[in-house]
Chain A
Amino acid sequence: MSGRSNEAPETGPFYPRDRLWHPPALTPAYKTTVLRSPQRAPISFSNTMSEMTGPVFGPNIIGELDNDLIHNFAKPGESAQGPRIIVHGRVLDERGRPVPGVLIEFWQANAAGRYRHKKDGYLAPLDPNFGGCGRALSGEDGSYAFRTIKPGAYPWPNGVNDWRPAHIHFAIFGSGFAQRLITQMYFEGDPLIKLDPMTGGLSDRRAVEQLIAPLDMARTIPMDATAYKFDIVLRGRRSTMFENRLEGN
């Protein structure tokens, strides 16, 4: 199933989530949060099996073109329009250890900033050869990579003139349900980032920087595609004998 049969599975509880590192539920500059943010404190409890376990996906669910958004929706012989890029990185935990076998799903607007979704009414054109979704499974060293086109920035109805910086959405599974995470990757040098109410919800500038992928010339393909590096850090879990202590002992 997980491809790690020679390794004992980790079974310990996760480190508590540093909720101050994440955006708070209510970030009024992002108006939709006003009516969708819980107002009472979340209740904390020690992880049980329900939080420490999570679904596992094997390589059998990954199709040949799942990590190639340039071609996975294109007609035969055609390809999506826009600047060709490679996005790559590693999935690590808070201890810096690679997390293998993690399913990563990603979605994005096309090069013009338009999503293939009926709720998106932006006047920019759809690309008939671009669907905008893909997925990958992290390898033994936690690495993943996919090929796509660089998404365009787009306006959104929040303020009268708000624009989202170019970004790719990521949804990541870990080894436990408590690690489940959705985030967005931004691109180095984008001047829209500092105007963005969504990254603006992060109180620590270093947290914003953690979401910005640098141009990575070492991974570009000459005359073909540039590359951006985006490492993902999931919650770490206790795993040594000293740390696995039954509650109350």
Chain B
Amino acid sequence: MPQALDTLKETPSQTAGPYVHIGLMPNFVGIHGAHAEDLGGRMLNDKAKGQRIAIEGHVFDGTGEPLRDCVIEIWQADAAGLYPSPSETRGTADPNFAGWGRAAADPQSGLYRFETIKPGRVPFPDGRLQGPHVSLWIVARGINLGLNTRMYFSDEAEANAADPILLRIEHRTRVPTLIGTRTGDSYRFDIHLQGPDETVFFDI
């Protein structure tokens, strides 16, 4: 036998379950007092640089019914394309923008909504610029491993056409599942877990 490698296995995922709000946004489900406010509810303050936008939509199951119990987190660059993270080596991100947000689907309608700013472009490892995008992570009852996807912007056709990740998608008819559709300052981004319009999910 050769020596053993000193590596560990990642802790296996388990579903977030139906009561995920208790842990991630207790005030949203009426548990007040434990935490003053739910994390991720406000992504920016008045001084944040960049174009104010909203992102909203539904997450649909295989019958087309919206999930009313999911939680979504987003992570994105600031208006200059920088991330507020110690791993960001290209500059200092806007201190007035958190880059991260968390929202629950509305328990009646299933609509989720983020108020944020439009991100700048971030390079791919080889230096090419990616299209502006927001990374999403979706958890819910019935989802065994949190789902990763991205939203790109419908008014960035040129940047999207050169995006190294969108270019990688073999089935070109699936690319529109990753594009949020602009109306005014709002982008509609519906996520389909199954069916002909199944959203492209990523193994990142």
Contacts and interface: CB of A to CB of B under 8 A. Distances in A.
Interface of A: 1-2, 4, 9-11, 13-14, 16-19, 21-25, 27, 30, 32-40, 42-57, 61, 63, 65-66, 72-73, 92-96, 105-107, 115-120, 131-135, 169, 171-172, 175-178, 180-184, 198-199, 201-202, 206-208, 210-211, 232-236, 246-248
B151 to A, nearest CB: 12
A18 B29 contact: no
Interface in B97-153: 98-100, 122-127, 130, 133, 135, 137, 139-148, 150
Contacts of B96: none
Interface of B: 6-24, 26, 29-31, 33-36, 39, 61-63, 65, 67, 69, 73, 75-77, 83-90, 98-100, 122-127, 130, 133, 135, 137, 139-148, 150, 164-165, 168-169, 193-194, 198-204
Nearest to B199: A38
Contacts of A198: 14-15
B141 A35 contact: no
A65 to B, nearest CB: 8
A45 B194 CA distance: 21
A34 B143 CA distance: 10
Contact of A182 (B14, B29, B76): B14
Given A35-B61, A177-B135, A131 B34 contact: yes
Given A42-B203, A180-B73, A181-B13, A51 B144 contact: no
B122 A50 contact: yes
**Which secondary structure characterizes the binding site on chain A?**
loop
B135 to A, nearest CB: 5
19 contacts: A11-B89, A14-B204, A21-B9, A22-B10, A32-B142, A35-B63, A38-B194, A49-B88, A51-B135, A55-B100, A73-B34, A94-B9, A96-B7, A117-B29, A118-B30, A169-B14, A177-B75, A182-B139, A233-B8
B12 A183 contact: yes
A50 B77 contact: yes
**Which secondary structure characterizes the binding site on chain B?**
loop
A201 B63 CA distance: 23
Given A106-B23, A117-B19, A48 B142 contact: no
With most chain B CB atoms within 10 A of its CB, the pick from A24, A63, A115, A199 is A115
A218 to B, nearest CB: 21
B125 A247 contact: yes
Contact of A42 (B17, B143, B165, B202): B202
A118 B67 CA distance: 16
A36 B62 contact: yes
Contacts of B84: 55-56
Contacts of A56: 84-86
A207 B9 contact: yes
A42 B194 CA distance: 12
Contacts of B140: 36
With most chain B CB atoms within 10 A of its CB, the pick from A10, A93, A135 is A135
Contact of A184 (B14, B69, B150): B14
A182 B15 contact: yes
Which 10 residue pairs of A and B lie closest in terms of their CB atoms, listed nearest first?
A107-B23, A32-B142, A53-B85, A36-B142, A9-B86, A55-B100, A35-B62, A53-B83, A42-B203, A23-B144
A199 B15 CA distance: 10
Contacts of B76: 50
Contact of B16 (A24, A51, A53, A169): A169
A25 B19 contact: no
Given A11-B87, A43-B202, A36 B143 contact: yes
B31 A133 contact: yes
A48 B122 contact: yes
Given A35-B61, A115-B22, 14 more contacts: A23-B145, A30-B15, A33-B143, A35-B193, A43-B200, A44-B202, A49-B90, A50-B83, A54-B85, A54-B100, A56-B84, A183-B14, A198-B15, A248-B125
